[in-house]
Structure 1
Amino acid sequence: MKALRRQSLAKAIQLSLLIAVPGFAAAQDAPSPSEATTLDSVQVTGTRIKKAEIEGQVPVHTLTRADIERTGLTSIGDVVQQITGSGSGFNRTRNASGNDGFPSDGGGTGAGATTVDLRNLGTKRVLVLVDGMRWVNESSASGVGGATDLNTIPLAIVERIEVLEDGASSLYGSDAIAGVVNVITRRNFDGVQITANYGQYEDGDGQTSGVDLAWGGSSERASWFLGASYYDQQEVFSKDRARTRDPVFGTGLELGSTRVPGGRFRFVDPRNGGQYDLTTDPTLTNPTYTPGLPNCAGGADRPDGFRCFSGARDAFNYAQFNLAQTPSERAGVFGQFRFDLSDNLNWYARALFNRRDSLNQAAPEPIDIGPGSGTAFASNAVIPVNQPFNPFGIQLDPSNIRTIRRRPIEGGPRLFSQQVDTAYFGTGLEGTFDVGSRGWFWDANLAHSTNEAEQENRGSYNIRNIVTALGDPAVCAATPGCTPLDIFGFNTITPEMLAYISPLFRDRSENKLTLATANVSGDLFDMWAGPLSFATGYEYRKYEGSYDPDPQTVRGEYNGVPSLPTRGEYDVNEVYVELNVPLMADSSWGKKLDLNVAGRYSDYSTFGGEFVPKFGLRWQVVDEFLLRGTYAEGFRAPSIGELFGLGTRFDAAITDPCLGGNFARNAANCAALGVAPGQPQFDAQIGVNTGGTPTLEPERSQSFSMGMVWTPSFLEDSAIAKRVDFEGTFYKHRIEGAIQAPDPQTQLNLCVQTLDPQYCNGIVRNASTDQIEEFSNFLANFNVIKTDGWDFDVYWALPETAIGDFKVSWQNSWVGNYEAVGADGSRQPLQVGVLVSDPVTRSIPRWNSTATLDWQRNNWTAAWTARHVSDMTEDCSGVDLSGDGGTDFCPDNPGPNQNRLGSTTFHDVQVGYKFDYMRGLQLLVGANNVFGKDPPVCLSCNLNSFDGSTYDLPGGGFWYVRADLRF
């Protein structure tokens, strides 16, 4: 379709466009109020009406390609995560597989994915669009995801990214509770562009390299664009950073794992009734066991081949095997073709294929034997006296085993490699028609997209085979492939033993999205203050998802975190209407006042119908001052994983209020729960059983925002400024019936405090050791989530100087309140200024700020950016979890059982030069975190002692070079 006639925008819209860019607006030249800015009549994120004059009813942050390039980042997700209103999401620092298990939402661990969280409401409450159309949710071969992996969209195809941080379910349907990320692809492109980049950390690791190719052109009736992208990110090992090479920074082995290479053997010897807690002495090559020796009497060690286990001396440093940055290789190609069938009818087709190969690595997988080990095979294991390697001279079985743990480093680390393929095809018609003298726009679209993932797991074990190899030698001899297993010592497991117990595990998951949409918009008729604008449309969507774990896992033989298959589908039919009603124009009350009203009805095959409205006011008081506000109701439909997940488990770090030194504080209630005094907590990691619920209702939300845009005329073309823009927005969100499982630590604390069955049911303890053996924690519609805060942005263009042009932008987000409250009134631990790990680390800084100073002179450009995160606290009451009464590393600052994470500011710098030949070869050199600022130490974070979703990687800055050539 030929270009539509360009239309002028109101001055206030120019202002809102200029200052809506968080952290990157300084790249844009600011036109003076006397200059008319023109745009095609387009549909902007936040409205369905294709009429540019109504832009500005909601704040939309627009990131151009120049803004993206200034960050030095090569992932859409990493770029969006730097917006000040962004919360915690998965990214390249999240080494998830093998440690987080399977979260309760059925979406899996999202290994290798990059997701975005807006307003700290969670990644599943952000809707991701590409050219205004929904994008398929991610699958990482560990579940059926409910969020979008932005790594599935190559950066080479991006023209700009529009981010709406406001409820928009009335316009876009489910998931748009916290906001919308709309990726606009490149369309009008003429010529060839080659972009190459390379970067690495100061320590010489974590190398990233990539090449983007773009080719486009047009003829009289057609236009086309083809983009290809290749990106390679290398790993950073935790052992190569001082901050991440210990389980918790600065604590040495004290907080390491009690699952050790030499084994930990806790049992009762029926010959003398003695309780033993032993590990193999690493100084002895042929450990032997002498029965009858006292167990650590008087603190003395044993003289035989075993010694008394000590956490400070014998604990295992799992951090030596972990990754601080995961490797990822991505290749994608995108094509778009448009053809004018007539002057007012256009056909388009677009297609994408993207492949991601990523890897997560965890420490060698431990083997647990005995009651409460997590599987029926391990809990009921029997190691007979005549097992060839049993050194104790007694049969070990559930009657006398307290726990047996062995981490076979002979098998190497666990490696989880993912191959994720995303395919998309869309086609449609776009056109215009006239009704009298009024022009109308319409479009009809079809699209289908898939996200398929396969994961191979090496270094894990088959617990059924382990139990067979530890059992009756005659049974092992009669079992094909079985070799008796020796777990009693260091480096005792031979390759033949490993071949039987360590198979390859293969998991697979898939998400599919099929949709059909039709939309029409235009002006209905003239009112006293202008035309009444209108948009309506229909949308059909079908979601299909499946997760197929390895058959060994389904049979319960996987030694790691068990999971069951998931499979489900649903569809939805929706209609929406949007009206823009002019209420006033050029009166004593101001220049213009518009009311925007929208409503959407959705009919789901899973739970029925849902209607959500939205109301917005935009008041142009004078040319330089704009007020606007919105009220919206929204919803989020339960995802396939939340509905149809059959059951799984994740390992949560939980401090038991009834074990160890905690018993005395809760003695009466712990005794009522059957716990005996003096029982230590064997392990901080407790298996939590969880799963989906088919009867879940949608989450329902209310969102409110109010803001202003002000460009003071007295500062325009003044001695101190060429132009100054201010934008402020207050927001408030409330979600009712939030789909969530209770925080496991909170649930256990309430069980002990109240003895109420609603908390205690599903928590089962072992009769002998009092350790928690089962912990049920299933999804429900019970939570109320409330949050509010402020955004305040400043854009300042300084007067021209002899040394160049300077611009300053400053973006700020303050979170005033965040509460997640259960149906019983219990408050969940995540709140403003607090970091939690449950098990995924999330944090809500009270203040995020980004300030950028831009400079340009002739062919030279430079930028300096400061990114600030305010201080937070974390609960560190459970830092000493070794079970042996070791040192407490919690600093009790600023209060008891609290650790303060101080405020942090990262500085980024970039310098560029554009050569005059060709179409302009541009070279960029930059460094992120140029001063090498380390993030604050996190004591409760599962891995690496820092929150990678909030802070940069420790251990120095990241420098990069980029070359861009056009011809």
Structure 2
Amino acid sequence: MFSIRNRLTAVPCASLIALAASLSGTSLAHAAEQDSAAPAAAPTRPAEPTAPDIVVTGSRIARAGFTAPTPVTVMGAEQLTKAAPSTLAESLRQLPSLTNTSGPQRNSGSSRVGQSFLNLRSLGPTRTLTLFDGRRMVSSSLTGSVDANILPSAVVQRVEVVTGGASAAYGSDAVAGVVNFILDKKFTGLKGEINYGLAQEGDNREIRATLSAGLKFAEGRGHILVSGEYFRNDGVAPSARPWASQGWGLINNPSGTPTLVLKPNVLTVGTYGGLIIGGNGGTAANNALFKGIQFMPGGVAAAYNYGTYTTSTQQVGGDGVPTENIQEINRPLERGSGYVHVGFDVSDALSLYADAMYGRSSSTVNNTYNRRQTANPFTIQRDNAFLPDAIRNQMQAVGVTSLTMLRFSRERGFIVTRGDSDTMQGTIGAKGTIAGLSWNAYYLRGRTYQTNATMNDEITARFNSAIDAVVSPSTGQIVCRSSLTNPTNGCVPFNVFGEGSPSNAALDYTRGVSWSHATIDADVGSFAVSGPLANGWAGPIRFAIGGEYRSEKVNVTTDALSPTGAFLLGNPNPWSGRYNVKEGFVEIIAPLAKDLPLIRELELNAAGRVTDYSTSGTVKTWKLGLSYKPFDDLRLRGTRSRDIRAPNLSELYQAGRQSIASVNDPFKSNVRVTGILQNNSGNAGLKPEIADTLTFGAVYSPSWVPHLNLSVDFYDISIASAIDNIAAQTAVDQCYVGTAAACALFTRDTAGNITSFSALPINLASAKTRGIDFEVGYSAPNGLLGLKGNVTLRAVATYLAKQETTTPGGAPIDRAGEAGVNPYPRWRGVAQFNYQGETVGGFLQARYVGGGAYDVTRGPAVVDLQNVSAQVYFDGQISFKPKMSGSEIELFLNVRNILDNAPPIAPENANVPVAFNAFLHDVIGRTFRVGARFKY
């Protein structure tokens, strides 16, 4: 599946890319490292034309035979579509280094609905720099990340991934690495694809269609490329899988040890028609008489069944609410993109180009119920006009004046969130050669419109007023108590007793839409020169130098009510922010020795960059790398770099948005607390994070086994002052062990119960990750074991040795080896077999996700779920290419998760309980896709 990371020291760059585009079934750059006189493996069909100015990610310098000391993985277009023909982001998730890339799965957030942001090394999307043909893009989100789903995948020739620090070469945000989407801008002809997918369960229906055309004009001096794509996935309903509908979750153990136990059918205390949890105004005994009365349809009172293992917020069995069956297992998504590129050669030394891209994504998803639960109950007075007389009479008899109630409202369904994002950008540029040097200059202008709407959302003050319903002494009609003194306030009485009891008018009055609209603008101007600097004693010394100016700004507007905190959920605040960046860089490649005893080649790659942020000042980054070949079959390489990431606009200036959090509170014997109001905001006091990155490894391509490649690479990334949001559970745990900064994030009432949590980004003391990448590849261009055609075998794996964060004042927490609450298993890997004959092709892939601890911070005395099992998923594809003259057609059947493996039970510590980890595991089950590709 994957290339040996930039292994091709002996293959000229143009040949490398041609090979990547031509290898049947794999379409990626991968061949044995050999002496420059030795030829690369022959492709089975002619390569696509490739532009001569190839720049391999990890370096700004392009030259034949260069191999960067930083590991680079190259994946071709065919490989990506065979691994996962759904979306580019899903294809890239096959890489172990990108496993935790977000997508449209449950609990993936309400502010990034329908978007997928690449996440290298599990360090977060904000530390992964996504490039489009070597250039930055306008952000698709307020956090500064790029949605991989909107890129024109039909004309992506290859994707290059550098899995180490690359700030010196490409600028801020490249702490974890770079993902560079390279386009096939020289394509000529017409090509397209259409495929249809369906899960075995009859859902997750999807369709994808692409069409691209390339045309030369002006006697071949000009070229135009046009491409369009449409994708739609209908998603998977919340309880559409047996393992998802069983309600697995952790709940407090009444026996004491362990504190938390894993049980099925874990429900949230409450009902759809209202539940009394206590009276007020009377004696404690009399107040308790009303606990456990629920209201059935029509307002009929009945006893509530609290089930077993009951806490104030959870229970096993009984009459509670199955809150796991709210959000979709896979969220629906509709997206489309269009791309146009025009290039024109004015002369042999000057070319002009321009391109424009548009991408749109839209998704409407279930969020939660309009819920009044233990953390936000409501009060009903004894004179409430809708209160059943029997309850009122009993309250009167025992001196109880009001009732405290819970209610999960199913009227009009869930609170739903719709996210729409439109991204457009245009680039004009020129490139050429002068005095033996290559230069490139461009200007980019981009804009993203993003609308986020939370619909059917309770307007809290109106609800509180509407439920306080009384009989008007003057008219005898049921009205809001507030209307007695203000008859024109528009309040409509709301009947809380029994599901279906509220009138449509009451629902209209108490529900609304909390929305925000964001405009994100980016302007980028860049100029770079590269070429030979001088002839050194071991070969030509080459350099690159350049500068870039970039400005970004965000403006967020909202509805009128949200800034007042009027809604149950959402409540975004308007905000704006901007910054500009000026930077200059220089890079040099210097051969140090060649053709000496035990030194076949020794080469230095060094880079430096000075970056000036209008928000945080000047920072310097650098990289030093060595590539050493003691003999032809072996290459040793290593880099040491200083990388930086400045806080993005959202981290600095976001004015706040409300959501809901849940924790197990160690101050309250780890009782489960749900419905905590979480206020998400920015932090203007953030400072840039600084990362030190070390990589070193070896590449072995034995001459005695042609086309076999093996590699191993060690990486170590240490980030000081790392910017991150502390999760509510992590914060309360850190507070419990004495970290004052974590305690300050919580607000508690007089009884010590958590009422709110401030989720703002802070500079952590440090974040560290360390591990080893392994890769082996073998290709047989002329067949293997009787198969006539191109056969390739690939395997890539990653071992995670450390994934550590430290909160200021707290002890380090290393979550490496955790496969439950946080997705950091020790081992992840992919192995592939691919065959492409003249007419028939076959592909088989095994994805391995290692097991590990459920939560490394919670031992067997705290939780009985200690280990999550490892999983292996198999995917396959068969294809058929009928022989045709002048055109190429391929029909294929792709099967994902062939064995229909269910994910292991590993409940997330989220507000909406989730019994599985969708970042690590397949949550759809066996899925079939059929399709056709054509090319003329």
CA RMSD of aligned residues (A): 3.2
Aligned partner (choices 35, 53, 62) of residue 65 of structure 2: 53
1:833 is the counterpart of 2:817 = yes
Mean Cα deviation higher: 642-651 or 419-428:
642-651
Relative to structure 1, the CA distance from residue 921 to residue 749 in structure 2 (aligned partners, 3 Å threshold; closer, same or farther) is closer
Q: Would you say 1:821 and 2:798 are equivalent positions? A: no
Query: Which of residues 432, 457, 462 in structure 2 aligns to 1:460?
Result: 457
- Greater shift, 490-499 or 522-531, is seen at 490-499
In the alignment, what sits opposite 2:162? 164
> Structure 1 residues 742 and 505, CA, compared in 2 at 3 Å: closer, same or farther?
closer
Which of residues 250, 267, 274 is equivalent to 1:256?
Answer: 267
Please give the alpha-carbon distance, in whole angstroms, between the structure 1 residues aligned to 2:726 and 2:327.
Answer: 29
- Give the distance between the partners of 1:693 and 1:60, measured in 2 at CA: 35
In 2, the alpha carbon distance for the partners of 1:22 and 1:898 equals 46
Q: Judge conservation of contact 2:247–2:915 (CA < 8 Å) in 1.
A: yes
After TM superposition, the score normalised by the length of structure 1 is 0.85
Alignment of 1:624-635 (within 5 A): 624-635=633-644
3-state SS of paired residue (1:747): helix
Partner Cα separation in structure 1 for residue 857 and residue 22 of structure 2: 41
* Distance in 1 of aligned mates of 2:320 and 2:58: 54
Name the CA distance, whole Å, in 1 between partners of 2:680 and 2:433: 52
- 2:878 partner letter: V
Give 1:800 deviation, angstroms.
Answer: 3.9
Superposed CA offset, 1:10-62 (max 9, x none): 25989998899999858678579565359834211110112233234222111
Q: Provide the rounded CA distance (Å) in 1 between the counterparts of 2:100 and 2:225.
A: 34
AA in 1 matched with 2:164? D
Q: 1:46 to 1:309 in 2, by over 3 A?
A: closer
Q: Which moved more, 1:51-60 or 1:855-864?
A: 51-60
* Change in 2 beyond 3 A, CA 1:628/1:235: same
Relative distance call for 1:833 and 1:309 in structure 2 (3 A) is: closer
Distance 1:360 1:90, change over 3 A: same
Q: Within 1, Cα distance between the matches of 2:694 and 2:301?
A: 71
1:619 and 1:749 mapped to 2: Cα distance?
47
Secondary structure in structure 2 of the residue aligned to 1:244: helix
* Alignment partner, residue 904 of structure 1: 871
Structure 1 residue 403 displacement after superposition = 5.3
Identify the match of residue 449 of structure 1 among 443, 446, 449: 446
The residue type equivalent to 1:218 in the other structure is K
For 1:811 and 1:23, the matched residues in 2 are separated by 19
2: CA distance, partners of 1:196 / 1:403? 57
CA spacing shift, 1:28–1:597, aligned 2, 3 Å:
closer
Q: Deviations over 1:315-334 (max 9, x none)?
A: 10123332111111112110
Equivalent residue in structure 1 for 2:711, among 721, 727, 741 = 727
Q: How far apart are 1:536 and its partner, in Å?
A: 0.5
- How far apart are 1:506 and its partner, in Å? 2.7
The yes-or-no answer on 1:193 pairing with 2:191 is yes
Segments of structure 2 that go 5 or more residues without pairing to the other structure are 1-7, 41-46, 251-261, 470-479
Q: Secondary structure at the match of 2:98?
A: coil
CA contact 2:361–2:422 (8 Å) conserved in 1: yes
Runs of 4 or more, structure 1, over 6 Å off, are 12-24, 26-29, 249-253, 295-299, 399-402, 892-895
- SS of residue matched to 2:96: coil
Of 532-541 and 152-161, more deviation after overlay is shown by 152-161
Normalization by structure 2: what TM-score?
0.87
Q: State whether residues 941 and 947 of structure 1, in contact with CA within 8 Å, keep that contact through their aligned partners in structure 2.
A: no
Alignment match, 2:900: 932
Distance 1:702 1:252 in 2: 44
Q: Distance in 2 between matches of 1:924 and 1:702?
A: 45
Q: Is 2:444 aligned against 1:429?
A: no
- Once the two structures are TM-superposed, the CA of residue 476 in structure 1 deviates from its matched residue by 3.4
Q: How does 1:683-694 map to 2 (within 5 A)?
A: 683-694=673-684
How big is each residue's C-alpha offset from its partner over 1:545-593, in whole Å with a ceiling of 9 and x where there is no partner? 1333332211211112443223101001000000111111111132221
By how many angstroms is 1:73 displaced? 2.4
> In 1, are the aligned partners of 2:191 and 2:933 still within 8 Å (CA)?
yes
Q: Quote the residue 2:503 is aligned against.
A: 494
Distance in 2 (CA, whole Å) between partners of 1:425 and 1:279 is 62
In the alignment, what sits opposite 2:280? 269
CA shift digits 1:881-908 (9 cap, x unpaired): xxxxxxxxxxx87995433210100001
State how far apart, in whole Å, the 2-side matches of 1:853 and 1:608 are: 50
The CA deviation string for residues 765-811 of structure 1, in whole angstroms up to 9 with x for no partner, is 322x5421233453221231111111111112356443324321111
Deviation at 1:521, TM superposition (A): 0.5
Distance in 2, matches of 1:21 and 1:815, equals 33
Distance 1:26 1:50, change over 3 A: closer
Give the residue type in structure 1 aligned to 2:829.
S
Aligned letter for 1:702? D
Quote the Cα distance in structure 2 between the aligned partners of 1:259 and 1:912. Answer: 53
**Partner residue in 2 for 1:110:** 112
Change (3 A) 1:155 1:312: same
- Offset of 1:119 from its aligned partner? 1.1
1:407-449 Cα deviation digits (max 9, x unpaired):
1111212221222111010010001012xxxx21001100011
Deviation per CA, 1:689-730, whole angstroms, max 9, x where unpaired?
3421112110100001011111111223xxxxxx21111111
C-alpha displacement at 1:631, in angstroms? 0.5
Cα 1:80–1:297 change in 2 (3 A) is closer
**CA positional deviation for 1:268:** 3.6
Which residue among 81, 96, 109 is the counterpart of 1:84?
96
The aligned counterpart of 2:418 is 417
Identity %: 25
Q: Deviations over 1:917-952 (max 9, x none)?
A: 141111111201111011111123534411111111
Change (3 A) 1:24 1:465: farther
Deviations 1:490-536 (A, max 9, x none): 32212121111112333222322110000000111111111111110
| Distance apart, 1:385 and its partner CA | 3.7
CA distance 1:382–1:325, change in 2 (3 Å): closer
Offset from partner CA, 1:381-413 (integer Å, 9 cap, x none): 764443322455479xxx998953211111212
Determine whether 1:802 maps to 2:786: yes
Matched, 1:521 2:530: yes
Alignment correspondent of 2:256: none
Question: What residue ranges of structure 1 are gaps of 5+ in the alignment?
Answer: 1-7, 99-108, 300-307, 663-680, 717-722, 879-891
Cα distance change of structure 1 residues 567 and 352 upon mapping to structure 2, 3 Å threshold: same
Quote the residue 1:636 is aligned against: 645
Letter of the structure 1 residue corresponding to residue 702 of structure 2:
P
Are 2:778 and 1:773 equivalent residues in the alignment?
no
